[in-house]
Amino acid sequence: MKKSLPIISVCVVAYNEEEFVEDLLDDILVQTYPRRLTELIFVDSLSTDGTMEIFKNFRDRYSESFYDVKVLENPGKRLAAGWNEVIGVFSGEILVRVDAHARLSGSFVEETVRCQQSGEYVCGGRRPNIIVGNDPMSSTLLMAEQSMFGSSFATYRSGEKRCYVKSVFHAAYRREVIEKVGPFNAALGRTEDNEYNYRVQKAGYKICFEPRILSYQHTRPRLSKMIKQKYGNGYWIARTLFVCPGCISLFHLVPFAFVCAAVLTAVMAGFGWWWFAAAMWALYFAFAVANTVISVKKKGDFQKKFLLLPLLFLLLHLSYGAGSVVGFFSLIFKPIGRCRNEK
């Protein structure tokens, strides 16, 4: 890097993440970017475990080697509220959001700065999924998460070329962008980044995907947690659709359409038109089996539990779709305001 190096603020908002944040902090300690130019901001959302103590212990031990280490509380608890706490105090020329459920490559911060110095104002990179341990069930859940059929087509999951995208994981923003776009919508959960990046683009900025910026996300270690995660994602997608329609794509609504189709064809079967349900489920499981074969081939090491993948796909799609159904109905009783850039 020939240009003078900027101060970058690396920020983490966490709630009950003691199982994962220590490894994340270890990753921060081995970053290749100079510590004297790295500000760390840790925000605890009123955790009931040891997350806050871990952050404070890190600050007490390492604050003198970094530009600054701040530990804050997030009384609003939601991620968006936590990021607004960060926006109010960060000192860097660049702010990068890091998920508490993540791991970072050693050059993550350096590559982020490099991308910014190439002329980008907002950037982020690849974020493949990982698991703790290698037991058959965890491996099967990871395969479901990595499959396009089980999760998404998002560029940040598998993209290999630099390009411009609608949203990106672990986004880094220049201060100018934050000042122009303003705070996050604290009424949102799970989708606050979709809505924020939509406003970023409405403000005239491009979002750059740079595959050399590498981080990882821990896959939920148990099926119950993954189902809960997908349900929550679907719930907030539905609510966000009426807050900021422009930041939701048709792809996000596929599980909702699937659940509606399942209910509709079941009703039709009750009136004797069973072939609609038969055709829908035959087509669905054909896709599920085909994607299972693709996933097993990629894995290259067959285990009997991998045969559960079609069932896992179904459970994930149903939970996501059911979340969207509940999210739509919740708007009747708990409406939320539209984002400022939507007319």
Identify the DSSP state of 74. -
Is 329 exposed, middle or buried, given 0-12, 13-18 or 19+ CB atoms closer than 10 A? exposed
C-alpha–C-alpha distance, residues 144 and 227, integer Å:
12
- Domains in the chain, CATH or no CATH each: 8-222 (3.90.550.10), 245-333 (no CATH)
pLDDT number for residue 295: 86
Q: For residue 155, what pLDDT is reported?
A: 53
Q: What is the pLDDT along the chain (343 residues), one digit of tens a residue?
A: 457 999 999 999 999 999 999 999 999 999 999 999 999 999 999 999 999 999 999 999 999 999 999 999 999 999 999 999 999 999 999 999 999 999 999 999 999 999 999 999 999 999 998 887 677 788 888 888 888 887 765 655 667 899 999 999 899 999 999 999 999 999 998 899 999 999 999 999 999 999 999 999 988 878 999 999 999 999 999 999 988 999 988 889 999 999 999 999 999 999 999 999 999 999 999 999 999 998 888 877 777 888 899 999 999 999 999 999 999 999 988 877 554 444 3
Give the whole-angstrom CA distance, residue 310 versus residue 318: 12
What local confidence, expressed as pLDDT, does residue 157 receive? 62
Q: Report d(CA 141, CA 315) in Å as an integer.
A: 12
Tokens representing 277?
């349900």
* The model's pTM: 0.90
Helix (H) or strand (E) holding 13: strand 8-14
pLDDT for 342:
43
pLDDT of residue 146: 83
The residues near 9 (Cβ < 8 Å, ≥ 6 apart) are 39, 40, 41, 86, 90, 91, 92, 94, 95, 96
Structure confidence at residue 219 (pLDDT): 87
Q: 201: which DSSP letter?
A: H
pLDDT at 156: 58
Strands (E), 90-175: 94-99, 102-104, 122-126, 129-130, 163-165, 172-174
